[in-house]
Amino acid sequence: MENKCFGEVAAMIYVVEFQKCGLPHAHFLIVLRHMMHGPCGNLNPKCSCMRKSGMQVSCKSRFPRKFCDDTCVNKDGYPLYRRRNTGETVNIRGAELDNRWVIPYNPYLSMLFDCHINVEVCSTIKAVKYLYKYVYKGHDRIQYNITSKQENVMDEIEEYQSGRWISPCEAAWRIFGFDLFEMHPPVFLLPVHLPNMQSISLRPHERLRSVVADDKRSRTPLTEFFAVNVVVPVLIMDHVESVIELTGSTQLLFLIGGTGYLYSEFYERYRWHPSSKEWCERKTKKIVVGRLAFAYPGEGERFFLRLLLINVRSPTSFEDLRTVNSHVYATFQEAALKLGLLEDDDIGDLCMSEAKDSQLPVALRCLFATILIFCQPKDPFALWCKYSGDLSEDFQHQYPGQVERAK
Protein backbone atom coordinates (compact mmCIF):
# COMPACT_ATOMS: atom_id res chain seq x y z
CA MET A 1 0.00 0.00 0.00
CA GLU A 2 2.93 2.34 0.65
CA ASN A 3 5.01 1.62 -2.46
CA LYS A 4 1.88 1.13 -4.61
CA CYS A 5 3.47 -1.59 -6.73
CA PHE A 6 -0.06 -2.50 -7.92
CA GLY A 7 -1.19 1.13 -8.18
CA GLU A 8 -3.52 3.04 -5.87
CA VAL A 9 -5.09 0.66 -3.33
CA ALA A 10 -8.86 0.94 -2.90
CA ALA A 11 -9.25 -2.05 -0.57
CA MET A 12 -7.02 -4.75 0.89
CA ILE A 13 -7.30 -7.93 2.98
CA TYR A 14 -4.82 -10.61 3.99
CA VAL A 15 -5.32 -13.78 6.01
CA VAL A 16 -2.77 -16.01 7.73
CA GLU A 17 -3.78 -19.68 7.51
CA PHE A 18 -2.19 -22.47 9.54
CA GLN A 19 -2.08 -25.79 7.75
CA LYS A 20 -2.30 -29.25 9.26
CA CYS A 21 1.45 -29.42 9.72
CA GLY A 22 1.20 -26.29 11.86
CA LEU A 23 3.19 -23.82 9.78
CA PRO A 24 1.67 -20.68 8.24
CA HIS A 25 0.66 -21.12 4.61
CA ALA A 26 3.58 -19.94 2.46
CA HIS A 27 5.55 -20.99 -0.65
CA PHE A 28 9.33 -20.67 -0.90
CA LEU A 29 11.53 -21.94 -3.76
CA ILE A 30 15.39 -21.84 -4.42
CA VAL A 31 14.64 -14.80 -10.28
CA LEU A 32 13.75 -16.74 -13.48
CA ARG A 33 12.97 -19.95 -11.62
CA HIS A 34 10.43 -18.22 -9.44
CA MET A 35 8.41 -17.27 -12.52
CA MET A 36 8.01 -20.79 -13.90
CA HIS A 37 5.71 -23.60 -12.80
CA GLY A 38 6.65 -27.25 -12.93
CA PRO A 39 7.54 -29.00 -15.07
CA CYS A 40 4.62 -31.36 -14.50
CA GLY A 41 2.17 -33.40 -16.55
CA ASN A 42 3.78 -35.56 -19.24
CA LEU A 43 7.16 -33.93 -18.54
CA ASN A 44 7.06 -34.95 -14.87
CA PRO A 45 4.10 -37.17 -13.86
CA LYS A 46 5.40 -37.44 -10.28
CA CYS A 47 5.31 -33.68 -9.63
CA SER A 48 3.63 -32.77 -6.32
CA CYS A 49 0.98 -30.69 -8.11
CA MET A 50 -0.46 -33.67 -10.00
CA ARG A 51 -3.93 -34.80 -8.88
CA LYS A 52 -6.09 -37.72 -9.99
CA SER A 53 -9.66 -36.91 -11.08
CA GLY A 54 -11.51 -40.01 -12.16
CA MET A 55 -9.39 -41.77 -14.77
CA GLN A 56 -7.35 -38.66 -15.60
CA VAL A 57 -4.28 -37.23 -13.89
CA SER A 58 -3.76 -33.48 -14.29
CA CYS A 59 -2.09 -30.47 -12.66
CA LYS A 60 -4.19 -28.92 -9.87
CA SER A 61 -3.02 -25.47 -11.02
CA ARG A 62 -4.09 -26.23 -14.61
CA PHE A 63 -0.61 -25.96 -16.15
CA PRO A 64 0.42 -25.77 -18.90
CA ARG A 65 -2.03 -22.99 -19.78
CA LYS A 66 -3.20 -22.24 -23.32
CA PHE A 67 -1.67 -19.56 -25.50
CA CYS A 68 -3.82 -16.43 -25.52
CA ASP A 69 -3.39 -13.15 -27.44
CA ASP A 70 -5.45 -11.00 -25.02
CA THR A 71 -6.35 -11.06 -21.33
CA CYS A 72 -10.00 -11.91 -20.70
CA VAL A 73 -12.20 -13.13 -17.83
CA ASN A 74 -12.93 -16.84 -17.65
CA LYS A 75 -16.25 -18.31 -16.49
CA ASP A 76 -14.67 -19.67 -13.28
CA GLY A 77 -13.59 -16.18 -12.19
CA TYR A 78 -9.86 -16.56 -12.92
CA PRO A 79 -8.55 -14.32 -15.71
CA LEU A 80 -7.04 -15.86 -18.83
CA TYR A 81 -3.83 -13.87 -19.05
CA ARG A 82 -2.19 -12.95 -22.32
CA ARG A 83 0.36 -15.64 -23.22
CA ARG A 84 1.80 -15.05 -26.67
CA ASN A 85 3.34 -17.87 -28.63
CA THR A 86 6.73 -16.22 -29.22
CA GLY A 87 8.57 -19.49 -29.70
CA GLU A 88 10.97 -18.68 -26.82
CA THR A 89 11.82 -21.40 -24.32
CA VAL A 90 13.99 -21.70 -21.21
CA ASN A 91 15.47 -24.74 -19.55
CA ILE A 92 13.95 -25.19 -16.07
CA ARG A 93 14.77 -28.26 -13.99
CA GLY A 94 15.71 -30.26 -17.06
CA ALA A 95 12.72 -29.34 -19.25
CA GLU A 96 12.20 -26.74 -22.00
CA LEU A 97 9.32 -24.47 -20.92
CA ASP A 98 7.58 -21.69 -22.86
CA ASN A 99 5.06 -18.95 -21.98
CA ARG A 100 2.39 -21.49 -21.11
CA TRP A 101 4.30 -22.32 -17.89
CA VAL A 102 4.75 -18.75 -16.59
CA ILE A 103 2.85 -18.13 -13.36
CA PRO A 104 1.07 -14.78 -12.82
CA TYR A 105 3.68 -12.69 -11.00
CA ASN A 106 4.75 -9.14 -10.12
CA PRO A 107 8.40 -8.39 -11.04
CA TYR A 108 8.89 -5.98 -8.13
CA LEU A 109 7.72 -8.47 -5.50
CA SER A 110 9.64 -11.38 -7.02
CA MET A 111 12.91 -9.41 -6.94
CA LEU A 112 12.22 -7.96 -3.48
CA PHE A 113 11.54 -11.24 -1.70
CA ASP A 114 13.42 -13.59 -4.07
CA CYS A 115 10.73 -16.24 -3.74
CA HIS A 116 7.67 -17.69 -5.46
CA ILE A 117 4.77 -15.19 -5.15
CA ASN A 118 1.70 -16.01 -7.20
CA VAL A 119 -0.16 -12.76 -7.98
CA GLU A 120 -3.69 -13.12 -9.39
CA VAL A 121 -6.25 -10.49 -10.41
CA CYS A 122 -9.39 -10.70 -8.25
CA SER A 123 -12.08 -10.22 -10.88
CA THR A 124 -15.09 -11.66 -9.03
CA ILE A 125 -16.47 -11.75 -5.48
CA LYS A 126 -15.60 -15.45 -5.20
CA ALA A 127 -11.94 -14.74 -4.38
CA VAL A 128 -12.98 -12.40 -1.56
CA LYS A 129 -15.35 -15.05 -0.18
CA TYR A 130 -12.45 -17.54 -0.25
CA LEU A 131 -10.30 -15.28 1.93
CA TYR A 132 -13.07 -14.53 4.41
CA LYS A 133 -13.69 -18.24 4.83
CA TYR A 134 -10.36 -18.50 6.64
CA VAL A 135 -11.29 -15.59 8.91
CA TYR A 136 -14.55 -17.10 10.12
CA LYS A 137 -14.08 -20.88 9.90
CA GLY A 138 -12.49 -21.07 13.37
CA HIS A 139 -10.10 -23.70 14.70
CA ASP A 140 -9.68 -27.25 13.52
CA ARG A 141 -11.78 -29.46 15.77
CA ILE A 142 -11.15 -32.98 17.03
CA GLN A 143 -13.33 -35.60 18.71
CA TYR A 144 -11.78 -37.94 21.24
CA ASN A 145 -12.62 -40.04 24.29
CA ILE A 146 -10.68 -41.39 27.26
CA THR A 147 -11.15 -45.00 28.28
CA SER A 148 -9.56 -47.44 30.65
CA LYS A 149 -8.23 -50.77 29.40
CA GLN A 150 -9.85 -52.50 32.36
CA GLU A 151 -13.35 -51.41 31.29
CA ASN A 152 -15.11 -53.90 29.05
CA VAL A 153 -18.19 -51.75 28.40
CA MET A 154 -17.66 -48.24 27.00
CA ASP A 155 -20.36 -45.56 27.03
CA GLU A 156 -19.48 -43.39 23.99
CA ILE A 157 -21.91 -40.64 25.01
CA GLU A 158 -20.51 -40.49 28.53
CA GLU A 159 -16.89 -40.45 27.41
CA TYR A 160 -17.33 -38.15 24.38
CA GLN A 161 -15.14 -35.06 24.41
CA SER A 162 -14.97 -32.21 21.91
CA GLY A 163 -11.98 -29.93 21.61
CA ARG A 164 -10.07 -27.68 19.27
CA TRP A 165 -6.62 -28.42 17.91
CA ILE A 166 -3.98 -25.67 17.81
CA SER A 167 -0.45 -26.29 16.61
CA PRO A 168 2.55 -24.94 18.57
CA CYS A 169 3.27 -22.42 15.80
CA GLU A 170 -0.27 -21.04 15.91
CA ALA A 171 -0.22 -20.96 19.71
CA ALA A 172 3.01 -18.92 19.68
CA TRP A 173 1.56 -16.64 16.98
CA ARG A 174 -1.46 -15.90 19.16
CA ILE A 175 0.51 -15.56 22.42
CA PHE A 176 2.72 -12.88 20.86
CA GLY A 177 -0.36 -11.13 19.47
CA PHE A 178 0.61 -11.26 15.81
CA ASP A 179 -2.15 -10.27 13.38
CA LEU A 180 -4.04 -13.11 11.74
CA PHE A 181 -5.81 -10.86 9.25
CA GLU A 182 -6.15 -7.23 8.26
CA MET A 183 -8.54 -5.34 6.03
CA HIS A 184 -8.68 -1.89 4.50
CA PRO A 185 -10.93 0.01 4.65
CA PRO A 186 -12.26 -1.05 8.09
CA VAL A 187 -15.76 -2.54 8.13
CA PHE A 188 -18.13 -1.82 11.04
CA LEU A 189 -21.03 -4.22 11.64
CA LEU A 190 -24.23 -2.22 12.17
CA PRO A 191 -26.73 -4.15 14.32
CA VAL A 192 -30.31 -4.61 13.14
CA HIS A 193 -32.82 -5.42 15.89
CA LEU A 194 -36.52 -5.01 16.52
CA PRO A 195 -37.83 -2.55 19.18
CA ASN A 196 -36.66 -3.58 22.67
CA MET A 197 -35.02 -6.72 21.24
CA GLN A 198 -31.38 -5.58 21.50
CA SER A 199 -28.82 -7.63 23.42
CA ILE A 200 -27.58 -6.28 26.78
CA SER A 201 -24.48 -7.66 28.50
CA LEU A 202 -24.47 -8.22 32.26
CA ARG A 203 -21.52 -8.74 34.56
CA PRO A 204 -21.74 -11.41 37.30
CA HIS A 205 -21.88 -8.85 40.16
CA GLU A 206 -24.55 -6.61 38.60
CA ARG A 207 -28.22 -6.56 39.61
CA LEU A 208 -30.72 -7.09 36.82
CA ARG A 209 -33.07 -4.31 37.95
CA SER A 210 -30.31 -1.69 38.04
CA VAL A 211 -29.16 -2.68 34.55
CA VAL A 212 -32.70 -2.47 33.15
CA ALA A 213 -33.23 0.93 34.80
CA ASP A 214 -30.04 2.33 33.21
CA ASP A 215 -31.08 3.87 29.89
CA LYS A 216 -27.48 4.00 28.68
CA ARG A 217 -27.13 0.20 28.79
CA SER A 218 -29.93 -0.27 26.26
CA ARG A 219 -28.42 2.09 23.68
CA THR A 220 -27.27 0.58 20.40
CA PRO A 221 -25.89 2.08 17.17
CA LEU A 222 -29.38 1.73 15.68
CA THR A 223 -31.27 3.49 18.49
CA GLU A 224 -28.68 6.29 18.59
CA PHE A 225 -28.90 6.61 14.80
CA PHE A 226 -32.56 7.47 15.30
CA ALA A 227 -31.63 9.87 18.12
CA VAL A 228 -29.13 11.81 15.97
CA ASN A 229 -31.73 12.24 13.23
CA VAL A 230 -34.09 13.70 15.84
CA VAL A 231 -31.50 16.10 17.28
CA VAL A 232 -30.09 17.48 14.01
CA PRO A 233 -33.22 19.48 13.07
CA VAL A 234 -33.28 21.00 16.59
CA LEU A 235 -29.71 22.21 16.26
CA ILE A 236 -30.51 23.79 12.91
CA MET A 237 -33.71 25.46 14.14
CA ASP A 238 -31.67 27.30 16.81
CA HIS A 239 -29.90 29.11 13.95
CA VAL A 240 -32.73 29.54 11.46
CA GLU A 241 -31.89 33.13 10.54
CA SER A 242 -28.21 32.45 9.82
CA VAL A 243 -29.08 29.30 7.84
CA ILE A 244 -31.57 31.22 5.67
CA GLU A 245 -28.95 33.89 4.93
CA LEU A 246 -26.36 31.29 3.93
CA THR A 247 -28.42 28.69 2.11
CA GLY A 248 -31.86 30.11 1.31
CA SER A 249 -35.23 28.70 2.34
CA THR A 250 -35.25 25.86 -0.22
CA GLN A 251 -32.00 24.43 1.12
CA LEU A 252 -33.32 24.92 4.66
CA LEU A 253 -36.23 22.55 3.95
CA PHE A 254 -33.68 19.87 3.02
CA LEU A 255 -31.48 20.48 6.04
CA ILE A 256 -34.24 20.24 8.64
CA GLY A 257 -35.16 16.78 7.40
CA GLY A 258 -32.50 15.05 9.56
CA THR A 259 -28.98 14.00 8.61
CA GLY A 260 -30.07 12.81 5.16
CA TYR A 261 -28.06 9.57 5.45
CA LEU A 262 -29.01 5.94 5.16
CA TYR A 263 -28.08 3.70 8.09
CA SER A 264 -25.24 2.16 6.04
CA GLU A 265 -23.92 5.61 5.04
CA PHE A 266 -24.04 6.98 8.58
CA TYR A 267 -20.78 5.31 9.68
CA GLU A 268 -18.90 7.18 6.94
CA ARG A 269 -19.74 10.54 8.57
CA TYR A 270 -19.98 9.53 12.25
CA ARG A 271 -18.03 7.17 14.50
CA TRP A 272 -19.39 5.03 17.30
CA HIS A 273 -17.99 5.30 20.84
CA PRO A 274 -18.61 1.98 22.67
CA SER A 275 -17.87 3.45 26.10
CA SER A 276 -20.23 6.42 25.91
CA LYS A 277 -22.58 4.63 23.47
CA GLU A 278 -23.09 7.59 21.19
CA TRP A 279 -22.30 8.73 17.66
CA CYS A 280 -19.78 11.56 17.19
CA GLU A 281 -19.23 13.40 13.92
CA ARG A 282 -15.95 12.58 12.21
CA LYS A 283 -13.50 15.49 12.18
CA THR A 284 -11.30 13.98 9.47
CA LYS A 285 -12.21 12.27 6.23
CA LYS A 286 -11.55 8.55 6.47
CA ILE A 287 -12.55 5.72 4.17
CA VAL A 288 -14.73 3.35 6.22
CA VAL A 289 -17.57 0.96 5.41
CA GLY A 290 -20.72 0.32 7.42
CA ARG A 291 -22.38 -3.07 6.84
CA LEU A 292 -25.81 -4.00 8.14
CA ALA A 293 -26.12 -7.35 9.89
CA PHE A 294 -27.64 -9.97 7.58
CA ALA A 295 -31.24 -11.12 8.09
CA TYR A 296 -33.06 -14.13 6.61
CA PRO A 297 -36.61 -13.87 5.22
CA GLY A 298 -37.63 -16.50 7.76
CA GLU A 299 -36.87 -13.97 10.53
CA GLY A 300 -39.97 -12.06 9.50
CA GLU A 301 -40.14 -8.47 10.75
CA ARG A 302 -36.39 -8.17 11.30
CA PHE A 303 -35.82 -8.89 7.59
CA PHE A 304 -38.30 -6.18 6.55
CA LEU A 305 -36.83 -3.75 9.10
CA ARG A 306 -33.42 -4.23 7.48
CA LEU A 307 -34.97 -3.68 4.05
CA LEU A 308 -36.39 -0.34 5.20
CA LEU A 309 -33.10 0.72 6.80
CA ILE A 310 -31.17 0.28 3.54
CA ASN A 311 -33.71 2.40 1.62
CA VAL A 312 -35.20 5.03 3.97
CA ARG A 313 -33.11 8.13 4.80
CA SER A 314 -33.08 9.93 8.16
CA PRO A 315 -35.57 7.79 10.11
CA THR A 316 -36.20 9.11 13.63
CA SER A 317 -37.71 5.98 15.22
CA PHE A 318 -39.05 2.50 14.54
CA GLU A 319 -42.49 4.06 14.21
CA ASP A 320 -41.17 6.55 11.68
CA LEU A 321 -39.93 3.64 9.55
CA ARG A 322 -43.47 2.21 9.56
CA THR A 323 -44.93 5.55 8.46
CA VAL A 324 -45.72 5.99 4.75
CA ASN A 325 -47.61 9.09 3.52
CA SER A 326 -48.48 10.08 7.12
CA HIS A 327 -50.04 6.68 7.82
CA VAL A 328 -48.46 4.43 10.48
CA TYR A 329 -48.66 0.78 9.44
CA ALA A 330 -48.75 -2.05 11.95
CA THR A 331 -45.77 -3.98 10.56
CA PHE A 332 -42.51 -3.25 8.75
CA GLN A 333 -43.61 -5.62 5.98
CA GLU A 334 -46.69 -3.51 5.19
CA ALA A 335 -44.56 -0.35 5.11
CA ALA A 336 -42.05 -1.99 2.75
CA LEU A 337 -44.84 -3.08 0.43
CA LYS A 338 -46.40 0.41 0.36
CA LEU A 339 -43.00 1.94 -0.47
CA GLY A 340 -42.63 -0.50 -3.37
CA LEU A 341 -39.45 -2.01 -1.97
CA LEU A 342 -40.63 -5.55 -2.67
CA GLU A 343 -43.37 -7.52 -4.35
CA ASP A 344 -45.27 -10.35 -2.77
CA ASP A 345 -43.12 -12.97 -4.52
CA ASP A 346 -39.83 -11.04 -4.69
CA ILE A 347 -38.56 -11.68 -1.16
CA GLY A 348 -36.72 -14.93 -1.84
CA ASP A 349 -35.03 -13.66 -5.00
CA LEU A 350 -33.96 -10.44 -3.26
CA CYS A 351 -32.49 -12.32 -0.31
CA MET A 352 -30.63 -14.89 -2.45
CA SER A 353 -29.24 -12.12 -4.68
CA GLU A 354 -27.67 -10.41 -1.67
CA ALA A 355 -26.54 -13.53 0.17
CA LYS A 356 -24.72 -15.14 -2.78
CA ASP A 357 -22.01 -12.47 -2.66
CA SER A 358 -21.04 -13.12 0.96
CA GLN A 359 -22.31 -16.56 2.06
CA LEU A 360 -20.63 -19.90 1.45
CA PRO A 361 -22.50 -22.65 -0.46
CA VAL A 362 -23.43 -24.56 2.72
CA ALA A 363 -25.08 -21.47 4.22
CA LEU A 364 -26.74 -20.67 0.88
CA ARG A 365 -28.36 -24.10 0.74
CA CYS A 366 -29.74 -23.65 4.26
CA LEU A 367 -31.06 -20.24 3.24
CA PHE A 368 -32.65 -21.69 0.11
CA ALA A 369 -34.40 -24.34 2.21
CA THR A 370 -35.61 -21.61 4.61
CA ILE A 371 -37.06 -19.64 1.70
CA LEU A 372 -38.88 -22.72 0.40
CA ILE A 373 -40.41 -23.41 3.82
CA PHE A 374 -41.33 -19.93 5.03
CA CYS A 375 -41.58 -17.67 1.96
CA GLN A 376 -43.57 -19.91 -0.42
CA PRO A 377 -41.97 -18.64 -3.66
CA LYS A 378 -44.22 -18.76 -6.71
CA ASP A 379 -41.72 -20.68 -8.86
CA PRO A 380 -39.18 -22.58 -6.72
CA PHE A 381 -37.65 -24.31 -9.76
CA ALA A 382 -36.94 -20.96 -11.48
CA LEU A 383 -35.33 -19.71 -8.25
CA TRP A 384 -33.18 -22.86 -8.11
CA CYS A 385 -32.11 -22.53 -11.75
CA LYS A 386 -31.12 -18.88 -11.22
CA TYR A 387 -28.84 -19.61 -8.23
CA SER A 388 -27.87 -23.25 -8.83
CA GLY A 389 -24.30 -22.25 -9.68
CA ASP A 390 -23.84 -20.43 -6.35
CA LEU A 391 -25.58 -23.21 -4.38
CA SER A 392 -23.29 -25.90 -5.83
CA GLU A 393 -20.05 -23.89 -5.98
CA ASP A 394 -18.22 -26.22 -3.57
CA PHE A 395 -19.39 -29.31 -5.48
CA GLN A 396 -18.17 -27.85 -8.78
CA HIS A 397 -14.78 -27.17 -7.17
CA GLN A 398 -14.57 -30.74 -5.87
CA TYR A 399 -15.70 -32.27 -9.18
CA PRO A 400 -14.49 -29.89 -11.91
CA GLY A 401 -16.03 -30.33 -15.31
CA GLN A 402 -19.12 -32.14 -14.02
CA VAL A 403 -21.53 -29.22 -14.22
CA GLU A 404 -24.65 -31.30 -14.92
CA ARG A 405 -23.97 -33.56 -11.95
CA ALA A 406 -23.42 -30.51 -9.71
CA LYS A 407 -26.82 -29.08 -10.72
pLDDT digits (tens, 9 = 90+) for 20-29: 666 665 433 3
Mean pLDDT over all residues of the chain? 78
pLDDT band at 150 (very low <50, low <70, confident <90, very high): low
Q: Taking the model in full, what pTM does it have? A: 0.58
> CA torsion sign, 125 to 126 to 130 to 136?
positive
Of 112-126, 135-149, 277-291, 374-388, which gets the smallest average pLDDT?
135-149
pLDDT band at 224 (very low <50, low <70, confident <90, very high): very high
Residue 167 clears pLDDT 90, i.e. is over it:
no
Question: Which is nearest to 102 in space by CA: 122, 119, 121?
Answer: 119
> CA torsion sign, 340 to 346 to 347 to 352?
negative
Rounded mean pLDDT of 288-299?
86
Of 76-90, 170-184, 269-283, which gets the smallest average pLDDT?
76-90
The answer to whether the bond into 274 is cis (omega within 30° of 0) is no
Question: Which is nearest to 34 in space by CA: 146, 125, 94, 112?
Answer: 112
User: How do beta strands 270-273 and 278-281 pair?
Assistant: antiparallel
Please tell me which residue, 198 or 27, carries the higher pLDDT value: 198
pLDDT band at 327 (very low <50, low <70, confident <90, very high): very high
User: How do beta strands 327-328 and 12-15 pair?
Assistant: unpaired
Helix (H) or strand (E) holding 391, with range, is helix 380-391
- What's the confidence (pLDDT) of residue 374? 77
User: How do beta strands 187-190 and 289-292 pair?
Assistant: parallel
Residue 328 pairs with which residues in a beta bridge?
Answer: 323
- What's the confidence (pLDDT) of residue 57? 82
87 vs 98: CA distance, rounded Å: 7
Residues 123/104, Cβ–Cβ less than 8 Å = no
- What's the confidence (pLDDT) of residue 242? 45
- What's the confidence (pLDDT) of residue 154? 64
Q: Which residues contact 116 (CB under 8 A, 6 or more apart)?
A: 27, 28, 29, 34, 103
Rounded mean pLDDT of 374-380?
76
Helical packing angle, 361-374 and 347-355, nearest 10°: 170
